[in-house]
Structure 1
Amino acid sequence: MSDAHNEHQSLIRTPKQLVVAVTGFFLVIVIGIILLVSFVTTAPVTGAGTDGQSAEAVTNRMRPVAEEGFTLVDANAPRVLQAGAAVYAATCAACHDSGMAGAPKTGDNGSWGARLAQGYDTVLKHAIEGIRAMPAKGGNPDLDDIEVARAVVFMTNKSGASFKEPEVPAPAAGNAPGDAAATGETQAADQAGAEPKAG
């Protein structure tokens, strides 16, 4: 009697119940797969670049470069020379603030003493042409010689010198627009004066 009570009894007792259980199991699996597929495919799925031909995307690609924050400079405009402090901050400070590669530190009168004793012209020549580890114009070839001279004066005056700020040279006689008109008037007056003498 104890053996009969301890036996485990199965829920499926007939072959018909086995067929119904297996069919039900497969039916639940199939319905689950169908629901999962319909859930995944109902949301609109777009890959990267699918809207590449939309009007907005084309307009964004064709927008002028100037609208991207670039500053366009007129190459024919007159050049505006920078002040010595601005040139120093942009070009010279990288080495002369820290003394990198043997550069004399700005404000250190001892390291500048021997250089300043050579005179302004020599210091300026070394700044423009370069010397030892320092490249010409501090590595910025776009600088004008006057801008380099202003930076030299700014830097050396902070280091014990008392150099005068360089003056911008006047433009050549034939380069200014007013000069061309004056030259034409002078030539016309000379020709008019020369004609009576010939007659």
Structure 2
Amino acid sequence: MKKLIITALAGAMAAGSGLALAERGGKEIYDSKCFACHSTGAAGAPKIGDAAAWAPRLEQGMDTLMKHAKDGLNAMPPMGTCMDCSDAELQAAVQYMIDQSK
């Protein structure tokens, strides 16, 4: 019984500290949240792989891209519908799309 309580407490502490959740990679976030618009260009979203569409956005810099990703812009919803994404995960998704569009 003592071992069970210690195990449960350790699990609760890890979950509360955020250590229990592994961050998802950019491709995983893209595949689950971003692809619907960024694979088709829906609502004016720059298509992944379209260097010309991404060029003016890249000129604005990563800080601006991240602000738009977090706050939304035009038809893009805040957080790109990934309300459970950390800042690092959101940045990984943006970086994944950039890397695929060079």
The answer to whether TM tops 0.5 is yes
TM-score, normalised via structure 1 length: 0.42
Structure 2 residue 69 is matched with structure 1 residue 127: yes
Does 1 or 2 have the higher relative contact order (CA < 8 Å, sep 6+)? 2
The structure that has the greater radius of gyration is 1
RMSD between superposed Cα atoms in Å: 1.6
Paired-residue identity, % = 43
For structure 2, the residue ranges without an aligned partner over 5 or more in a row are 1-11
Q: Provide the residue aligned with 2:79 in structure 1.
A: 137
Q: Which runs of 4+ in 1 moved over 4 A?
A: none
- Secondary structure of 1:141's aligned partner: coil
Q: Provide the residue aligned with 1:104 in structure 2.
A: 46
**Alpha-carbon distance, 1:79 to partner:** 1.7
Q: Provide the residue aligned with 1:153 in structure 2.
A: 95
TM-score, normalised via structure 2 length: 0.79
For 1:157 and 1:79, locate their aligned partners in 2 and report how far apart those are by CA, in whole Å: 25
Q: Residues 151-178 of structure 1: CA distance to partner in whole angstroms, max 9, x if unpaired?
A: 0000011112xxxxxxxxxxxxxxxxxx
Map of 1:5-154 to 2, 5 A cutoff?
Answer: 76=15, 78-154=20-96
Report how many aligned residue pairs link the two structures. 87
For 1:133 and 1:96, locate their aligned partners in 2 and report how far apart those are by CA, in whole Å: 12
